[in-house]
Amino acid sequence: MTRLSFRQKVHIAREDAIVNTVMRLLAEKGFDQMTVDEVAADVGIAKASLYKHFASKEALAAAAMVQAIGLALTQVESEQAVAGASAVDKLKAITRWTLQTQLAGAMPTLPAENSSLRNALIANRAYMDRLMTLSDELGAWIVQAQSDGAIERQLPPEAVLFTIYARACDPVLGFLKAGGRYSDGQIVEWVMATCFNGLAARA
Amino acid sequence: MTRLSFRQKVHIAREDAIVNTVMRLLAEKGFDQMTVDEVAADVGIAKASLYKHFASKEALAAAAMVQAIGLALTQVESEQAVAGASAVDKLKAITRWTLQTQLAGAMPTLPAENSSLRNALIANRAYMDRLMTLSDELGAWIVQAQSDGAIERQLPPEAVLFTIYARACDPVLGFLKAGGRYSDGQIVEWVMATCFNGLAARA
DNA sequence: GTCTATAAGAGGATAGAC
DNA sequence: GTCTATCCTCTTATAGAC
């Protein structure tokens, strides 16, 4: 760990502020509807200054997505540390965290097939590396949980992985919240139940 | 049924062609990334002519969404007609149809909270009317299936409804298809299984 | 690195002839 | 109703002074 000058610290702090703003705006409006002007205004600097930190709108969003995956990885680490938790317990915990984060408006939307972000992200080494790290960690839990008989063995592990990833952009949360009749906690538990137990009644 | 002049028939046929193109492009790229120029080029008429038929890009998309719900309603009717099908059978059938349609690239993406389409659609009487009709029909099936003990009774019917609606934009289909290793039919069955049976193994 | 000002271009919508 | 040509706004990105 090299020592940083005061100037460098300020620089990093500013970039963190930018990335956090972008993460929130991405969650709120999505990539297409988020404008660079808006980001600059929110951070409180001129747009041209933003472009000194990040080369393009895509780079801005990629940095936010890298940060988002970083948060997920931190969450994974903290669940690894829980003693006595089974693999499926950990999968449920990370899924619940994902739902809570999305409901709190802090989860930048995953890039769908058609997203303009998608190509930029696929070309981004840092993003892809972290995404693969995350997938490997979750993949190990999934295989373990299937071997435990806790997760359906018929499903290919990647189908399970994608299903959990998809919770990050599940519109059901927003639909239920829009009704205004249920607490966030209640909504999360219902979506957790449909995800792991399914819509059909268990015998 | 009033008789239509040849001219009127041509007019309607053209609007149908436009709506079908928009439905496909909406499914492919989403509202923001679909351009009016593109729609016009695809239909084979000038952009200005397009605006003689529809007042705005939003109106264009709304017409496509109305059409999409119309297709779903047609599907619902045809399932109503199946003798001996239980309520949950019908729910599964409409869900499977939704997944197949999305996988075939013919399902315009549902408007998320943040979509620019959302406000236009909420203000669109035809769309809201049809959406409510569809919701009523599916809602009746859901209540029946819960009373049959086939769908989990703990879940509020609207949570079940939204979960089924959300299959229209489930990214898991695209993720699995992108891998290229599975047939469409296989993918649909896995998503059906996770939707109705959940990720957890059934005892 | 920050700012103001502006270039460059995409895309929604319209004018006006036919 | 269809076309060509154009308008105009919004947005990304950069020039150039400090």
pLDDT tens for each residue of B33-57: 999 999 999 999 999 999 999 999 9
Q: Does A158 touch chain B (CB under 8 A)?
A: yes
Query: What is the domain partition of chain B in residue ranges?
Result: 6-197
Residue B147 pLDDT class (50, 70, 90 cuts): very high
pLDDT of the residue at A109: 82
Distance from CA of B23 to the nearest CA of A (A): 15
Report CA-CA distances (Å) from B178 to A69, A112, B136, B175, B183: 21, 11, 35, 5, 11
pLDDT tens for each residue of A177-198: 999 999 999 999 999 999 999 9
Q: What percent of chain A has pLDDT over 90?
A: 88
Q: Which residue intervals of chain A are DSSP H helices?
A: 6-33, 36-43, 47-53, 57-80, 87-103, 117-122, 125-147, 157-165, 171-179, 184-197
Which candidate in A162, A181, A186 is best for mutational testing of the B interface (most B CBs within 10 A)?
A162
pLDDT tens for each residue of A17-73: 999 999 999 999 999 999 999 999 999 999 999 999 999 999 999 999 999 999 999
Chain D bases closer than 7 angstroms to a protein Cβ: 1-5, 10-16
Was domain A6-197 assigned CATH 1.50.10.10?
Answer: no
Q: Does B105 touch chain A (CB under 8 A)?
A: no
pLDDT of B26 > 70? The answer is yes
Tell the residue number behind the tokens 């923001």, with chain if given. Answer: B32
Q: Do residues A201 and B152 make contact, with C-beta atoms less than 8 angstroms apart?
A: yes
Taking the C-alpha atoms of residue A145 and residue A163, their distance in angstroms, rounded to an integer, is 15
Residues 43-72 of B with CB under 7 A from strand D: 44-49, 52-53
pTM reported for the whole predicted model: 0.96
pLDDT of B114 > 90? The answer is no
Distance from CA of B12 to the nearest CA of A (A): 30
